[in-house]
A and B are shown apart, each in its own frame.
Chain A
Amino acid sequence: MRKWPFTTFILLLAMLHLILHVGLGIGALAPDFLAVAVLIVARRSSATGAVALAVLLGIVDDAMGIRNLGMRSIALGSAALLVTWSRNFIEGEGLLFVMAYLFVGKWVSEIILGLLTSTTVLEPLVLVTWAPLASAWTAVAGTIALRAFRSVAGPDA
């Protein structure tokens, strides 16, 4: 398996996320490509690699706020750990599997982030209303991106 096309793809996802969210200021309407990148890496590499990427990207993403760095890193890193653990008993490559996998992974990271930041009683409501919608949108966008990557780089990439 060639490594550089995959690495380039992950870097492109991270850059796309930052351009959409920070550069263009689109915000919640843009999919969370950082979560997609971390979740895809978590399926293919070691737990350490996935968590390291999650921590790094989380810090970059958190750098645009004013709170202490680390919340997003912990949320993404914990989701990545769960995903690498889930590899032991859940396998699949199909379109629906990838979509469901990205959906659940993103939702889990949103729940962890919500638990870390929650200060009001309304936050749990957000986690079962807005978060699934955002997760579904991220899952669709992530699946399209992954399909596009495979069509360009080949199925073995």
Chain B
Amino acid sequence: MPDLSGTRRRRRRDVVVAFGVLLVAFVLLLGPMQWSRTVRQFLRTTVLWPLTSLNSWMTTRRAERDDLREVRAQRDSLAAVLAAQAVLGEENARLRALLSLSQRAGSQFRPAQLLRLGSDAAEGTFLIDAGAEQGVVVGSPVLTVGGLVGVVREVYRRSAQAIDWTHQEFRVSAMTADGQVYGIVEPRRGAFREADLLVMTGAPFHSDVRPCSRIVTSGRGAVFPRGVPIGQVQTIADADTGWRKSYVVRPSVRPEEATHVLVGLSTTGTVDLSEVWDISASRETRPAGNPPAPARSP
């Protein structure tokens, strides 16, 4: 049966080569991050560039279409105008608030548009239309009027990719607004994405943080500016006997609702934004080694 054995041999060789090809993917997965970064950057600037441009164009058009709807609504009827003005007013209020926040936060921040990608790999991440040319660096915080959205992880020439607080790798040093309790805030997955919450871990066991207490960034580690709202305490998550407590935190910003953000430039980790959000934590509670650089007042 020479033919059959030949077919079998061919099949076996085919499977071996297939495993070899699969091995390439394993090497890429387990290899240094730099390899993936290089390939990713190449793909984004070539094959995927038209698609990200399309996404950006769609986002802009969507905003313009909304404006056109406003005009049509005004022409059609007063009722439609009123209804539309509510939406426009909300949009206006958000942009005005962002503008005002931008002025109060100072020149260390710049506004940017947020683009959300639909790929599974991009879950918990987003693109912003500001990059190295605008002064964005890896670790730049991303904020909205409501508070902290995420942090920049990769920077390109005119864009950057950031993770939002739902991403598994997101961590931020936090404290209660009165500066009494410190901990690390990290995401906690819900049964579905909209149910995702945050957890402040590592709080001292003797701490007693009441529900609805505001949690803000502490500025420790000089990554995030001090005094940016993260959320409000909902309940106790768990308590290790005699050691530490964790608190469930309801986030102050839902990433899926953010369209325009403020992104920190270069050394925003030492900035104190407590006054921007009227955070009452006194300067005395600032941990040693992180001298505050006050933000520009309005």
Residue in A closest to B116 when the chains form the complex, CB atoms: A25
Judge whether A51 and B163 touch: CB under 8 Å: no
Whether A26 sits at the interface, judged by CB under 8 Å, is yes
Stretch at the interface among B27-35, B200-208, B221-229: B27-35
Bound complex: CA A71 to CA B43 (Å): 16
Set of chain A residues within 8 Å of B289, measured between Cβ atoms:
none
Whether A120 sits at the interface, judged by CB under 8 Å, is yes
Residue in A closest to B115 when the chains form the complex, CB atoms: A25
Set of chain A residues within 8 Å of B83, measured between Cβ atoms:
none
Set of chain B residues within 8 Å of A84, measured between Cβ atoms:
15, 18
Judge whether A22 and B118 touch: CB under 8 Å: yes
With known contacts A61-B121, A64-B117, A22–B52 Cβ distance under 8 A: yes
Choose among A30, A48, A130 the residue that contacts B17 (Cβ–Cβ < 8 A): A48
Bound complex: CA A22 to CA B43 (Å): 13
Whether A152 sits at the interface, judged by CB under 8 Å, is no
Set of chain A residues within 8 Å of B44, measured between Cβ atoms:
63-64
Whether A90 sits at the interface, judged by CB under 8 Å, is no
With known contacts A19-B51, A60-B48, A63-B39, A73–B28 Cβ distance under 8 A: yes
Bound complex: CA A27 to CA B54 (Å): 15
Whether A150 sits at the interface, judged by CB under 8 Å, is no
Whether B85 sits at the interface, judged by CB under 8 Å, is no
Interface centre among A27, A119, A130 (most CB of B within 10 A): A27
Judge whether B15 and A47 touch: CB under 8 Å: yes
Please report the total number of A residues contacting B with Cβ < 8 Å: 48
How many B residues are at the interface, by size bracket? 35 or more
Set of chain A residues within 8 Å of B119, measured between Cβ atoms:
21-22, 27, 61, 64-65
* Total contacts A-B at CB 8 Å: 153
Set of chain A residues within 8 Å of B191, measured between Cβ atoms:
122, 125
Interface of B is mostly: helix
Choose among A48, A50, A69 the residue that contacts B39 (Cβ–Cβ < 8 A): A69
Stretch at the interface among A74-82, A97-105, A136-144: A74-82
- Shortest C-beta distance, B201 to chain A (Å), equals 14
Docked complex: B113-146 residues within 8 A CB-CB of A: 115-123, 125
- Shortest C-beta distance, A44 to chain B (Å), equals 14
- Shortest C-beta distance, B129 to chain A (Å), equals 14
- Shortest C-beta distance, A129 to chain B (Å), equals 8
With known contacts A18-B48, A47-B18, A73–B125 Cβ distance under 8 A: no
Whether A145 sits at the interface, judged by CB under 8 Å, is no
Whether B293 sits at the interface, judged by CB under 8 Å, is no
- Shortest C-beta distance, A71 to chain B (Å), equals 6
- Shortest C-beta distance, B21 to chain A (Å), equals 5
Judge whether B189 and A23 touch: CB under 8 Å: no
Q: What are 13 A-B pairs with beta-carbon distances under 8 A?
A: A22-B118, A47-B17, A48-B17, A51-B18, A52-B18, A55-B24, A59-B25, A62-B40, A63-B43, A70-B25, A70-B26, A74-B26, A122-B190
